[in-house]
Chains A and B, each alone.
Chain A
């Protein structure tokens, strides 16, 4: 295994193509980046290919789509070359993913505790009692106050923030080395959003995980991540350090930053994005 500073994930010229009635549509068009044990943000608007990039790494691309890449490796393992079975062993165990809305991504007919235990027992040989203990400890780690009660609740019985914490607990229980978070807080209220981000931040730092944080919210990402990749029309238009966001060069990044209303800035009308065809070229 690579050291703590080594590269976890390498993506070179990743392409994801969907067949449609009107021909092939390239959702991701040659994305390259690498990830160490750091927090990397991928930002873009709907249709920019940011989620498809995350799904391709996770191996969740729909079967009709075609994926190609010069290189798509996780810890030296060629993700496109291994069998579905080997891929499944990685998924949830060494690579985990948090999805946007706990309402839709948790199993509605299974208690939260059982879902967490299921993840754990799929990847590790542990007894029922120990699995339960570890699930409860994990629920506590994501700051759920009464883990014993929440363990037996079903997803519809908890709030959005609580559901998202449960999902984080489920994703972390097998001790993954890399986590992909696809809009993990977009369905939550702003104040809850910060709580959940705080928990995620602490756990990622403590465990030395690599995190890919996918979001449409440039400001939020830059306050949370170390590095930011900006995507437009399936391509990376700019890569920069989160702290240097204000010095972004690409007109798209600058336009995105600019068009959001800010408290204290009196700009009427708001500047709008003037999309140039060459950005997508």
Chain B
């Protein structure tokens, strides 16, 4: 079976800084794959490289068996959509929800916009009442739902999620994670999800990669973390840190 996303020895260089140092990755269709690491580990850069937002120096990226060139075409963005971390920064402050959702439809020349917008809002649990509101009239969780609706409206098969819940309260986080799981099941989506939180990744993903300093440290299945079968000290440290503060007497 062709991989949904295949990344091979990818290098990303900003000026002289090597943000990704030969990272390889393979995500099967319908799979949910997690990337974990601390700030600066390159996990977000990897996502951004896939959608064409980071300068790739060498290596290759293939989506659904098709190797990507320097420019992404429209067909690519119909297959791959991204949800960003900050729901406050990723929605246009002067556009209504309706206008925000029309944008991708207009770019890709969809005719049945009206119906699609209604369906997309419905799918993310926002009624039609939210259609003509501005971002500042929504809570953080509602904004993230709009961002998810915007990603889903083109019916992509792959969703890239860059810390989709780290700006949200714990209770709202649970709602958004549940929503993501539900749309994934319903639409048989492939997820590539970035988080610094091991618990979220083990909850959402079947397989994961731990990253540090632009390199892959370790590839694991979620169950390895549950049973603490990790081989690298770095991963062990992350696991310990996720248990909370322990007072040393």
Contacts and interface: CB of A to CB of B under 8 A. Distances in A.
Interface of A: 45-46, 160, 189-194, 197-198, 201, 216-220, 222-224, 255-256, 259-264, 267-273
A109 to B, nearest CB: 24
- Of B38, B140, B196, B225, most A-chain CB atoms within 10 Å: B38
A198 B171 contact: no
Interface in B167-206: 169-175, 177-178, 181-182, 196-200, 202-204
B178 A191 contact: no
B177 A270 contact: yes
B247 interface: yes
A200 to B, nearest CB: 10
Contacts of A259: 170-171, 173-174
B226 interface: yes
Given A190-B38, A191-B238, A273-B171, A261 B245 contact: no
A183 to B, nearest CB: 13
Contacts of B39: 160, 189
A250 B198 CA distance: 28
Contacts of B1: none
Contacts of A273: 171, 174
B196 A189 contact: yes
Interface residues of B, number: 35
B246 A216 contact: no
Contacts of B200: 261
Interface in B191-249: 196-200, 202-204, 225-226, 237-239, 241-248
9 contacts: A189-B38, A192-B38, A198-B245, A201-B245, A259-B170, A260-B170, A263-B198, A270-B178, A270-B203
Contacts of A201: 245, 247
Contact of B245 (A45, A218, A224): A224
B178 A263 contact: no
A257 to B, nearest CB: 9
